[in-house]
Structure 1
Amino acid sequence: MRAWGSARKWPAPRAYLPVSRVNPKAKKIVLWTLGALAVLLLVGLGVFLLKREQLLRYALGQAKQKIERRYPVTLTLGPARFTDLNSVQIDGIALVPKGSADTLLTARSVNASISLRSLFARRPVFSNLQIVRARLTAHKTEAGADNYGFLLKKRGQAAVARDTTQGTNYGLLANQLLEAGFDNLPDEADFRDFLVTYDSPRHQARLTMPQLTIDDGDLAGELAVVLDSVSNRIGLRGHVEPGDYEAQVEVYGQNRRPVLVPYVQRRYGARVQFDTLRLSLTGKEMDDENLTVRGAASAANFAVNHPKLATADIKVRRGGLDFVATLGRNHASLDKGSVIRLNRMELYPQLSVRLRPEIKRINPDPRMPTAKPYTGKLAGLEVAVKVESAETKTNDFFASLPEGVFDVLQGVQGTGTLQYRMSAALDMTRIDSLQFDSGLKKSADFSITRFGQVDLRKLNTEFPYTAYNDKGDSVKTFLVGPSNPDFVPFDQVSNYLKYAIVTAEDPRFFTHKGFMEKAFVKSAIQNIKEKRFARGGSTLSMQLVKNVFLTREKVVARKIEEALIVWIIENNRLVSKQRMMEVYLNIIEWGPSRYRWPNGERGVYGVGEAAQFYYGKEPRNLNLQESLYLASIIPKPKYARYSFDAYGDLRRSTRYFFRLIADIMAARGYIPQDEADNLSRSVSLTGPARQFMSFAARPDTTRTTAVADSSQFEPINLIDLLNTGGASPDEGVNTTAPRQDEEPAQGDKKGKDGGK
């Protein structure tokens, strides 16, 4: 037994033989093996180098057959060669549709990578496609023949029928376009100096791409586009998943220049532009006939300019749409779930558009078999729209309004919330069926704390007013208030005149909130029928706002701004009805602008000047006949000179107006019935107006069809709404609680003084 701590003897280390002493036989085997492998590799490489050209020709032949089986085309390939181990270059290609001598696509060279494994397996797979100096030339003839239509449908798929008795299925058509675009998109490609041209009897397009790359679904490139003389230089980036029909694409202007949208400028005369546009498609569903697509679109600095919309650009700094859209046979819709984002505001739209092609071939009114069929361009069009906004903070609401539409209201601030709603429906075959409803709902704590460019409360104070002529030139400026010797207070105007104007122009002025929707709808119907602003739908409140705060242009933007200003004034009771009527009576045009007063001023503006110009008397002394005549010429003061015939008597249309308005005034208690029954149909002009009258014979017209004075009001023309068809004279009026404290006392309406 070894004692503890005694030294231990460890075995000696094992000695290793030096390499030089390895078995020579083993060394020889290793060397021969390595050599054999090297020889095999060299032989394989030699065989590949000798056969790869043959395999390449085979691979290209397979690709050619695949394309020609899929499409009715002839594909011609130029000489091909390997540029390195697995890179191929083809010197020239051409794609010609069968049955046509027109070449659709050419390219100077095509470079690609080919999988060696797939090449030996005789199933060639190309990648990293690079096309240099490609030219895609598409065209369409007047007869409808083209050299590209085969790309828009899958193999064996029939074209979508158009202009048939059943109409076009827009769902199938859109589905074909989507699938053609996604299915023909390569996984990887690099286009260099790519030129696309399109020529048809209606459109010409030229698209130049210095470079466009597609890498595993990622898109990036630059484009120069000329379409119908509209030029753009744009950048493109995004991502596409062809198998899932999903895409996100961003289009933006280069060199800090906006992108102009083509076609709409040529077709509708409108300029539409944006700085950046983002489009996304998140999926599609196709049943037997209907296509449903989901996605989103948003734009930065979106702007629209059209002379009928506004005099300046209508701009939206940030706007977008999340859409759920359905397309089918003769119809398209924006469905529930869609959201419009307008700066800080959200709106929820629903839209349906349907076209009934059979309407073009039938008589729309079976009671009139001899009438001509309705054959207008919009025959059979049916449109229904509904929009409702989220409850929005007042400051966000006004900050979200588009620029160029609400100039007077820019900068308005307040408390509480606002919520907008609108619905409309129109059948172009039955235009009289137009339905329209619109409203702005305020919360209980809503109020205006700061006004914008103009303080709307200025109507309560003395202010300068400038009158303009038809050309937009100022005629004269005068104060509306006691400092003006021609100013006439409300209680110094004959009640005859007050109620004649209210009855003819706005019968619920003293009780409504600024709007009469039925009158607006009737005006819209007439404007649609005549395809022009033939008739206005303005209440006295709207006429006053237009003349005091806005320009004279007949554009949609001005009408929308006018409505919102009226809503603010009326719903917040910023100005009393009596003061509004007082200002109205003192600023409206009532005669020829070329007339000069002794003090050198031109034109006839306000009730004081009108009473002197026509009758040489004060407004409080006007009688019923004189008041009716003044009321009759308000919508068209420049046509007042044609009110008389060659014998100096009132024309038939004006006499009819006298009788109708007087009867309504009596029915409403404004004048005694016997005064209406004994009404004289003549007017004696005792002022300077007589020298301006035309007593020559000319055809008579009716008040409702005469051309309205373009520089003055767009009258409601409520004659056809009052006491007709058994309806209430005030039917369809947007009313509030009567404000009779602002209306002349009931005792002043009748009496021995004749309503003075």
Structure 2
Amino acid sequence: MRTRKQKIILAVKIVAISFLAIIIALFVFRNEVLKQTIAKISFKMASEYNSTFTVKEASFVGLSGLSFSEIILVPKNADTLFNIHKMKTSVNLWRLLVGDIQLGTLEIENGYVQLVKNKKGRNFDAFLKKDKSSTSSNEKRDYAKVAYILISKVLNLVPTDMKVENLSFRLNDNGKKTTINFQKLRLVNKQLETSIKVETKAFTQRIRIEGFADPRNKKADIRFFNIDTGAIKVPYLDERFGLKSSFDSIRLNIQNIDKSGGELHVDGFASIANLMINHKKIANKDVVIKNAKFDFRFLLGSDFISIDSSSTVQFNKVKFHPYLAYETEEDTIYKLKVAIPKMKAQDFIVSLPDGLFTHFQGMEAEGNFEYNLDFMFNKNKTNTLVFDSKLNKENLKITKYGEANLNKLNGEFIYRAIINNVLQRPVLVGSGNPNYTPLDQISPYLQKCVLTSEDPSFFSHRGFINEAFKQSILKNIRTKKFSRGASTISMQLIKNVFLTREKTVSRKLEEILLVYILENNRIASKERMLEVYFNVIEWGPNVYGIGEAAQFYFQKSPIDLTLKECLFLTTIVPKPKKFMWQFDNEGNLKAFAQQQEKFLSNLMLRRGILTAEDTLGESIPLQLSGNAHSLLNIKVQDSVSVDSLAVEMPFEF
């Protein structure tokens, strides 16, 4: 009779023998199993993705190695998705037994992967279908868990030893073609080295990627260089989006990917040298950032994704700490915080990207400043939007101006509007111009109307109105486009006198900085700013300044304008060249235009800016008596009717 110890030993032997038998059976019949596996994959590709998957030859090499030739995937009625001539790989058998695929080695020789979009559609559409059996949309997604599983699976598919020769990735977007050919790729002993050829219709370039890569420990430190002279050009974006971009080198360092306490942490840094971007909506010239670095710490939890505030962004001499978060615990909330620690103003000025702040070139400043921005948007409670912008300065002073010399506002100068990059006729802003009108010679009604409509708190704010920014952001979010701005008169003045009307990021950023300098350094008084504003803004087609406008519309001096006329002039400020569309074919204001003026006058009455006596003449129809009248689409009366009427009327001599 066997003892308990002997029984245990016997059981272990049986298990070992059984396991060995399974291994031997798998080894003996493995090629048959491999064929069946390929057949299952082919069937699934055909039934679920309407695609043909074929492998010409497939066999085992050694215990865990696999060899394939002519691996092809072709969606029905579409271009081939991939075609690999030869591939060898090995897998980790122990990981495979628990259902996890982890590649050990990989060799690929000659092949391509291509994404094609044309009139027939896209050759990868079938593989973008959502899995109906996936998690219900009502069930909350655990971001940390999903991200960690995805990262782990992807990194497990990256072999520890890799050799690739002549593998191309092709993109054809309706004739916009880009080919990235890995002529050579080696990953040996965690050291990565590549030779890549990039081809587009516009250029051909050779790139090298090298460095350290350890997919099993989730670490990497790789660099991108240009083998040839010059910068590395970014393909496809130019043809597809009109965005030209290049850089000298990029470094990406992943120091840690770890999941603990229900949170996923991704730590590392990325840096780039001489980044150049060019797009008509960014600036009208190349924008260059010489050196930039991002020390990042990404955090993902069960109900949030964020960039931690310990992260640091640095470009040139400017350094700041960003905090970005997307939260879904109760409501969908977006958060943004930016903190620029105390720094020298001059360091900030010289660090501004070339091409983005052209009007600041040559500017010099003294003192220090620090800046903080706090933004929060709750998708389900839009009225709780937070927008708080604070700049604290210390002995801040502009000692020398660049291209935009703000001091010129205090003297006589020539103003020339720029419309569609074309300089308009010169307008003298000063007493030498007979149409120039000092502030005390402009109708108080017009001053009150324009201030009420454009900037009610002009005389009390410092260039910006936080509440206006909030409302602007809310409307832009709701409409999903930039449908509303938040311009004060100070911002409009800067835009007109020193900048252009181009709708670019560059122009808007310059406008914000110049307004801050103007308003917070007391360069010009509010009264002088308002006077210049009235004398430079466009009031109609080729009509600049209120002096010209009063004559053009009413053959009057600005001081003699009535409330009715001032209300009209105020309503056309946003679109002065289209003033004629406010009138019908009989020369009378249309109902919508009358309603606009009525709304503005009622608003001024409620605020106590106007009295009931001021509005006594509002019922009198508005009549244009100046040259503006000739631009109206007036219907000519029937001359026959007039003549016949004249015959019947008696004449007196």
Q: Same fold (TM over 0.5)?
A: yes
1:198-237 superposed matches below 5 A: 206-225=179-198, 233-237=206-210
Given that residues 615 and 687 in structure 1 are in contact (C-alpha distance below 8 angstroms), is that contact kept between their aligned partners in structure 2? yes
Gaps of 5+ in 1: 1-57, 81-89, 111-126, 147-157, 359-379, 593-602, 698-756
1:686-737 superposed Cα distances (whole Å, 9 cap, x missing partner) = 322222223569xxxxxxxxxxxxxxxxxxxxxxxxxxxxxxxxxxxxxxxx
- Which of 598, 611, 615 is the matching residue for 1:659? 598
- Which of 527, 534, 549 is the matching residue for 1:610? 549
Question: Closer, same or farther in 2 for the Cα pair 1:670/1:348, shift >3 Å?
Answer: same
The whole-number CA distance in structure 2 between the counterparts of 1:330 and 1:261 is 35
Question: Closer, same or farther in 2 for the Cα pair 1:552/1:102, shift >3 Å?
Answer: closer
Determine helix, strand or coil for the equivalent of 2:370: strand
Given that residues 109 and 133 in structure 1 are in contact (C-alpha distance below 8 angstroms), is that contact kept between their aligned partners in structure 2? no
Q: Does 1:510 align with 2:434?
A: no
Match of 1:133 in 2: 109
Given that residues 642 and 695 in structure 1 are in contact (C-alpha distance below 8 angstroms), is that contact kept between their aligned partners in structure 2? no
Given that residues 81 and 114 in structure 2 are in contact (C-alpha distance below 8 angstroms), is that contact kept between their aligned partners in structure 1? no
The amino acid that maps onto 2:362 is G
Residue 485 of structure 1, CA deviation = 2.1
Residue 329 of structure 1, CA deviation = 6.0
The whole-number CA distance in structure 1 between the counterparts of 2:124 and 2:635 is 58
Question: Closer, same or farther in 2 for the Cα pair 1:684/1:181, shift >3 Å?
Answer: closer
Q: Does 1:306 align with 2:263?
A: no
Match of 1:464 in 2: 414
The whole-number CA distance in structure 1 between the counterparts of 2:204 and 2:110 is 21
1:179-198 superposed matches below 5 A: 179-191=152-164, 193-197=165-169
Question: Closer, same or farther in 2 for the Cα pair 1:231/1:145, shift >3 Å?
Answer: farther
1:381-430 superposed Cα distances (whole Å, 9 cap, x missing partner) = 75321111111100111122223321111232211112222222335566
Residue 509 of structure 1, CA deviation = 0.9
The whole-number CA distance in structure 2 between the counterparts of 1:164 and 1:228 is 43
1:296-326 superposed Cα distances (whole Å, 9 cap, x missing partner) = 1111112333333333333211111111112
Moved more, 451-460 or 131-140: 131-140
Residue 130 of structure 1, CA deviation = 9.8
Bigger Rg over Cα = 1
Residue 181 of structure 1, CA deviation = 4.8
The amino acid that maps onto 1:606 is G
Q: Does 1:249 align with 2:222?
A: yes
**Aligned length, in residue pairs:** 567
Match of 2:650 in 1: none
Given that residues 160 and 173 in structure 1 are in contact (C-alpha distance below 8 angstroms), is that contact kept between their aligned partners in structure 2? no
Question: Closer, same or farther in 2 for the Cα pair 1:662/1:280, shift >3 Å?
Answer: same
The whole-number CA distance in structure 2 between the counterparts of 1:628 and 1:390 is 47
Determine helix, strand or coil for the equivalent of 2:633: coil
- Which of 564, 567, 570 is the matching residue for 1:631? 570
The amino acid that maps onto 1:455 is N
Root mean square deviation, CA, Å: 4.4
Match of 1:452 in 2: 402
Determine helix, strand or coil for the equivalent of 1:547: helix
- Percent identical: 32
Determine helix, strand or coil for the equivalent of 1:143: helix
Match of 1:553 in 2: 502
The whole-number CA distance in structure 2 between the counterparts of 1:557 and 1:648 is 42
Question: Closer, same or farther in 2 for the Cα pair 1:330/1:130, shift >3 Å?
Answer: closer
1:193-248 superposed Cα distances (whole Å, 9 cap, x missing partner) = 33144689999975422333333212222112469999753211111233421110
Moved more, 196-205 or 447-456: 196-205
Determine helix, strand or coil for the equivalent of 2:339: strand
The whole-number CA distance in structure 2 between the counterparts of 1:205 and 1:523 is 40
- Which of 621, 624, 629 is the matching residue for 1:682? 621
The amino acid that maps onto 2:573 is I
Match of 2:387 in 1: 436
The whole-number CA distance in structure 1 between the counterparts of 2:156 and 2:67 is 24
Match of 1:315 in 2: 288
Residue 522 of structure 1, CA deviation = 2.4
Given that residues 416 and 426 in structure 2 are in contact (C-alpha distance below 8 angstroms), is that contact kept between their aligned partners in structure 1? yes
The whole-number CA distance in structure 1 between the counterparts of 2:569 and 2:579 is 9
The whole-number CA distance in structure 2 between the counterparts of 1:417 and 1:507 is 32
The whole-number CA distance in structure 2 between the counterparts of 1:316 and 1:159 is 46
Match of 1:421 in 2: 372
Higher relative contact order (CA 8 A, sep 6+): 1
The whole-number CA distance in structure 2 between the counterparts of 1:457 and 1:233 is 51
Determine helix, strand or coil for the equivalent of 2:595: helix
1:371-382 superposed matches below 5 A: 382=333
- Which of 424, 435, 443 is the matching residue for 1:494? 443
Question: Closer, same or farther in 2 for the Cα pair 1:213/1:459, shift >3 Å?
Answer: same
Given that residues 282 and 504 in structure 2 are in contact (C-alpha distance below 8 angstroms), is that contact kept between their aligned partners in structure 1? yes
Residue 132 of structure 1, CA deviation = 7.6
Q: Does 1:144 align with 2:144?
A: no
The amino acid that maps onto 2:364 is Q
Residue 482 of structure 1, CA deviation = 1.7
Residue 188 of structure 1, CA deviation = 4.6
Structure with more helix by fraction: 2
Gaps of 5+ in 2: 1-23, 42-54, 90-103, 116-122, 637-653
1:310-364 superposed Cα distances (whole Å, 9 cap, x missing partner) = 33333211111111112456753212211111211111111113579x9xxxxxx
Match of 1:752 in 2: none
The whole-number CA distance in structure 1 between the counterparts of 2:544 and 2:172 is 57
1:555-597 superposed Cα distances (whole Å, 9 cap, x missing partner) = 23211211110000000011111111111111111122xxxxx
